[in-house]
């Protein structure tokens, strides 16, 4: 188990782009749905390990604004899997101390799914363990546009003046408002791009790419990412 020491800092907030479910299934001659289910299980297994390691906030990309362009069958399978995942956390809420938060625009999701999400949020709101932030119908550009609209509305209504708008103020209008800045951003699956995930928040985040497909991502792989994180000098634009 990794430990938080003077020479080995555990990142407070880790974000993961869980990529590679489809390729994992294809390699095994399985339907894509099997890959997504294996990916959901990988997340459930990783969360308690991440908490034990000392990570306080874990943000994961579950469904993007662009994922609606996938086949209707795959989208429906993903939504049904999401229902199962949320229901399991609802059923297990007495067994763990995980706080569940959702980022993204959930208004496009089916009403029953929105109700489950809001119920789980309320149910875990006072939990003091690791905070699991799940990005649903989320896109970095969409988040920024929605934030700009909220800021504009408040300026027009007189709740906010132009002189009050700064980085801190603007951040309070984002989906991640109230969360600490992201220390470490991980992408699995081998692709080396941001793919519209947390664009505003990554200004000084350490980024780590791995070829490991998400369903195969284990705690040892998280350890490797944290080891690499500790080898880097974070200067935040300074010298």
- Model confidence pLDDT, tens digit, residues 123-149: 999 999 999 999 999 999 999 999 999
Q: What is the pLDDT of residue 176?
A: 98
Q: Which residues, other chains included, contact 91 with Cβ-Cβ below 8 Å and sequence gap of 6+?
A: none
| Neighbouring residues of 136: CB distance < 8 A, sequence distance ≥ 6 | 62, 63, 82, 102, 103, 104, 106, 109, 117
Is 230 known to be catalytic? Answer: no
> Which is the catalytic residue, given 4, 7, 8, 19?
19
pLDDT of residue 3: 56
Q: How many residues does the chain have?
A: 239
User: Model's pTM, two decimal places?
Assistant: 0.94
For 15, half-sphere exposure in the C-beta direction (CA atoms, 13 angstrom radius) is 22
CATH code 3.30.465.10 for 13-139+181-231: no
Name the CA dihedral angle for 15, 114, 30, 211, rounded to a multiple of 10 degrees: -10
pLDDT at res. 167: 96
| Domain range annotation of the chain | 13-139+181-231
What integer pLDDT is reported at residue 235 of this predicted model? 78
Instruction: Select which of 7, 41, 45, 67 is catalytic.
Output: 67
Q: Give me the pLDDT at residue 11, please.
A: 97
Is 166 among the catalytic positions? no
Which tokens hold the place of 125? 């709101």
Confidence at residue 239, expressed as pLDDT on a 0 to 100 scale: 62
Give the residue ranges of the chain where pLDDT is below 50: none
């Amino acid at each position: 188990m990794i430990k938080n020491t003077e020479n080995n800092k555990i990142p407070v907030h880790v974000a993961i782009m869980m990529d590679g479910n489809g390729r994992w299934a294809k390699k095994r001659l399985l339907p894509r749905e099997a890959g997504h289910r294996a990916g959901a299980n990988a997340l459930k297994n990783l969360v308690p390990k991440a908490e034990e390691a000392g990570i306080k906030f874990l943000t994961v990309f579950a469904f993007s604004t662009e994922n609606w362009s996938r086949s209707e069958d795959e989208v429906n399978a993903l939504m049904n899997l999401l229902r199962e995942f949320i229901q399991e956390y609802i059923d297990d809420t007495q067994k763990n101390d995980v706080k569940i938060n959702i980022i993204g625009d959930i208004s496009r999701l089916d009403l029953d799914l929105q109700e489950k999400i809001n119920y789980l949020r309320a149910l875990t709101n006072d939990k003091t363990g690791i905070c699991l932030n799940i990005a649903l119908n989320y896109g970095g550009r969409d988040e920024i546009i929605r934030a700009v609209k909220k800021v504009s509305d408040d300026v027009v209504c007189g709740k906010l003046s132009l002189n009050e708008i700064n980085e801190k103020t603007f951040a309070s209008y984002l989906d991640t408002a109230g969360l600490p800045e992201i220390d470490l951003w991980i992408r699995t699956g081998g692709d080396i791009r941001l793919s519209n995930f947390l664009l505003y928040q990554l200004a000084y985040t350490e980024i780590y790419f791995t070829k490991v497909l998400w369903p195969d991502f284990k705690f040892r792989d998280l350890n490797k990412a944290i080891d690499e994180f500790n080898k880097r000098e974070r200067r935040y634009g300074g010298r």
